[in-house]
Amino acid sequence: MLAAMSGTPTARGRWQEVARDNLRAWLVEPDPWLAAFVVDAPEGTSLAACAVGTVERRLGGPDDPSGLVGYVFNVSTDPAHRRRGHSRACVAGLLAWFRGRGVRRIDLRATAAGRPLYRALGFRETADPAMRLTLPTEVD
């Protein structure tokens, strides 16, 4: 999944342990700002698909006074389980979770392969250009 977004293979490392520990902590918070929806593979030992999202609190504006913004990421389907609607089900569950939290604006970044699904769910491309700054970190 990460390789599909970046175009380069992702190396294993300490980052996986940190990510796992963060997920475990964040998913049990009493007022969760992160949610993950998954479809288990039939054999029950892995995931067929997943979608993760967060809620961010920003200053409100005229179109949305709440300032709540959802962000969808880590949408992935195992190649052996593609074309069965699993990612659609995961993203639909995530969208319902956002609605239940009062989120009206939801953003994501899509691969070319994912764009048809997101368009079918109502997402539209925007004119906002994305930029990124990566600061140095102590995590390997």
**Residue 18 falls within a domain, yes or no?**
no
Give me 69's structure tokens.
Answer: 């913004």
Q: pTM above 0.85?
A: no
Mean pLDDT of 30-47: 91
**Number of domains the chain is built from:** 1
DSSP conformation letters of 30-58: SS-SEEEEEEE-TTSSSEEEEEEEEEEE-
CA distances from 90 to 26, 49, 52, 62, 117 (A): 19, 7, 8, 31, 12
Which of 91, 90, 100 lies closest to 122, judged by CA?
91
Mean pLDDT, rounded, for 65-70: 96
Nearest in space to 104 (alpha carbons), one of 51, 63, 74: 63
DSSP secondary structure, 105-132, as one string: EEEE---TTTHHHHHHTT----SPPP--
The answer to whether position 71 is within a domain reads yes
CATH number at residue 87: 3.40.630.30
Residue at 133 is within a domain = no
Cα distance between the two ends of the chain: 20
Please check whether residue 95 is in contact with residue 52, taking contact to mean a CB–CB distance below 8 angstroms. no
State mean pLDDT over 95-111: 96
Query: What's residue 128's pLDDT?
Result: 87
What domain range is 90 assigned to?
31-120
For residue 90, the model assigns a pLDDT of 98
In a domain, 93, yes or no: yes
